[in-house]
Chains A and B, each alone.
Chain A
Amino acid sequence: MSQIFGPGATTAARLALPSLVIVPAVILATLIFLRWTDYATGEGRIVDQNVPFSHRHHTAEIGIDCRYCHSSVTQSASAGLPPTETCMTCHSRLWSQEEMLQPVRASWESGERLRWNRVHDLADHVYFNHSTHVTNGVACTSCHGAVGEMRLIGQQEPLTMGWCLDCHRDPGPNLSPPEQVFSPIPPREAKVDAAAIHVLLEDYDIDSSTLTDCTTCHR
């Protein structure tokens, strides 16, 4: 009977057998790793808008408060997007012939609202409430980054569940005193003072024992 396999068959088998384990393991490890990359989380992603609105200019440079446009942020789950009328309080006079603002004027004339593209997009099964965060010391910039430094708004944080839980498990270090909550640029010095954190937790009356209940965010 002739040989079925050539002389290299043993080597081939010795390579093939471990790779039955190694190849799937490497593929799985890669897939797991990819979930942390900016590509998967969207961190650092800048979204094109119909009107290139500069948060840096409107907040840090000329000093408009966040709540002037996002007016429902302290009362409701959604921070709210301004109606065209809000834009036109200034832009009916300022830069009123500017080409860049043509969509705003078109919206004003037609009554059809401006279409903004969502930057911070949470999964539909997540219940996120803006008001409960900003009235309990979580600053706008804690999640949205230094908005006052961004020409075009981009996603600054990974917005993964693990990232949410980092803070929900230990909210203290991310709290700001009330006067800093709506600051467009976070204070430069990191606040690591344990006593200060304790005071903030007391002042805001935060009970962190329930913050990681499933139903806190998944209702």
Chain B
Amino acid sequence: MSATDAVLPDRAPGRLTADVADPLLRPRFGRIWWACLILCLGLSILMVVSLVVLVAGGVGIWGINTSNVWGFALVNYVWWIGIGNAGTLISAMLLLTRQRWRTSINRFAEAMTLFAACIAGLFPIFHLGRPWLFYWLVPYPNTLGLVPQWRSPLVWDFFAIASYILFSLMFWYTGAIPDFATLRDRAKGRIAQVAYGILALGWRGSARHWQTWQSYYGAMAAMGVPLVISVHSVVGMDYAAGIAPGWNESIFPPYFVVGAMFSGFAMVVVLAAIFRRALNAAHLITDRHFDVMGKILLTGSLIMTVSYATEWFYGWYSGEHAEQHVVATQLWGDFWPLYWGMLAGNCIIPQLYWWPFFRRHLPSTILIAIAINIGMWLERVVITVVPPARGYLPSQWSSYWPTLWDWALFAGTLGFFGLLFTLFLRVIPAVSIHEMKEQVAEEAPT
């Protein structure tokens, strides 16, 4: 097996630690990092400004109207939570199925999940119009004499996302405790020592610590697997529980779960490439990793294609004029470029992954992954915008066009995600050092 074929680095465990940990402890981090940070900070300020303007002016500054009540808020919510889906998949499902290649990517995929899920949560809350009353979604003893409306998908959403974010945070943090201890022990500065020391929670690496940690981590992973399915199923039910033609379909939950994994994995590929370049870590994330992820993306693409075909079939088979009209509008109506762009990004372009060359050639694989992310975003636009604009009542037919503030908030959240990720790369080991070393040690020739 050649060096680029390995999923595990061909290095001594001690050097691995140094590879990952030492850059974090250096006082300077390079100009590119600062450039990224400032760019993302600028966009994050844009996000804050658009949220302030939104709260001051109300949701009318968005392009929503009486038919398209959701608009970009829900488009971006679903897109972000979809991206947030892959981290738990990688950390939990691939851990339980003992996929060795996950150790290189699970830490930053989990970080991606956490950041994306938090950003996703912003959209429905600010879409409420009175975001400061979001706690009305929680069943707490109140003077209103009310509990939340359990038949409302918004309430399901709240529980699905809240439990997902809490889980992701705990799983990510506890997975990193041994690495925080490593950084604590290697840090030279007092501040770094104390900060990493507090995060490490007194980890000494004793056998008892490891035993407790492993049983805890395995149990958490097992608990996480249902969450991978539940969180995006609930997002799918947001739509499926609505009675608009094109939404009220039982295929939505599984179709959304696969779509989420698909877009999430595509984002992992993009971030893995950035990370590999930024930290000069070609030995940690090898071409083989991109090869494996390319295969997963190809599978996802095929399932998405089948799902779209199923929607067309449903439209025809239902015999329902409104359903057929929605499908026809998607394919040939005002929004046809979006729908065909979605099909290109999600179904056609990923077929390149059949060829090993495209899975291993880094620039191609990144471009394909970006195409998938754009395709998945377009999918959410098409799903969110077309059915309510072409409902059962022709008098309610409308068009939707995002405003400047819709775009500003979306761009802002992209920047905020980048900001969180840039800071993450600076202070937290982006690769799980201890899991990587464990794998290397287990497979070392004796």
A-side interface residues toward B, CB under 8 Å?
1, 4-5, 9-10, 13, 17, 28, 32, 35-36, 40-41, 158, 160-166
Complex formed: what's the CA distance from A161 to B146 in Å?
Answer: 9
Complex formed: what's the CA distance from A216 to B209 in Å?
Answer: 60
Whether A13 lies near B202 (C-beta < 8 A) is yes
Complex formed: what's the CA distance from A163 to B146 in Å?
Answer: 11
Complex formed: what's the CA distance from A9 to B193 in Å?
Answer: 14
Chain B residue nearest to A1 (CB atoms) is B185
Complex formed: what's the CA distance from A165 to B145 in Å?
Answer: 7
Whether B143 lies near A161 (C-beta < 8 A) is yes
List B contacts of A28 (CB < 8 A): 140
Whether B143 lies near A160 (C-beta < 8 A) is yes
Complex formed: what's the CA distance from A163 to B144 in Å?
Answer: 8
Whether B145 lies near A4 (C-beta < 8 A) is no
Instruction: Pick 24 A–B contacts, CB within 8 A, sort by A.
Output: A1-B185, A4-B184, A4-B193, A4-B194, A10-B202, A13-B198, A13-B202, A17-B201, A28-B140, A32-B142, A35-B142, A40-B143, A160-B143, A160-B145, A161-B143, A161-B144, A161-B145, A161-B146, A162-B143, A162-B145, A163-B145, A165-B144, A165-B146, A166-B145
List B contacts of A160 (CB < 8 A): 143-145
Complex formed: what's the CA distance from A51 to B105 in Å?
Answer: 75
Q: Given A4-B184, A4-B197, decide whether A158 and B143 contact each other with a Cβ distance below 8 A.
A: yes
List A contacts of B146 (CB < 8 A): 161-162, 165
Interface size on B, residues (CB 8 A): 15
| Per-residue A-contact encoding for B403-422, CB less than 8 Å = 1, 0 else | 00000000000000000000
Complex formed: what's the CA distance from A17 to B202 in Å?
Answer: 12
Whether B197 lies near A5 (C-beta < 8 A) is yes
- Shortest CB distance B183–A (Å): 12
Is B141 interfacial (CB-CB < 8 Å)?
yes
Complex formed: what's the CA distance from A32 to B198 in Å?
Answer: 32
Complex formed: what's the CA distance from A41 to B143 in Å?
Answer: 9
Extra inter-chain contacts (19) besides given A160-B145, A162-B143, CB under 8 Å: A1-B185, A4-B184, A9-B202, A13-B201, A28-B140, A32-B140, A32-B142, A35-B142, A35-B143, A36-B143, A41-B143, A160-B143, A160-B144, A161-B145, A162-B146, A165-B144, A165-B145, A165-B146, A166-B145
Complex formed: what's the CA distance from A161 to B201 in Å?
Answer: 46
Complex formed: what's the CA distance from A165 to B201 in Å?
Answer: 49
Interface residues of B in 177-203 (CB under 8 A from A): 184-185, 193-194, 197-198, 201-202
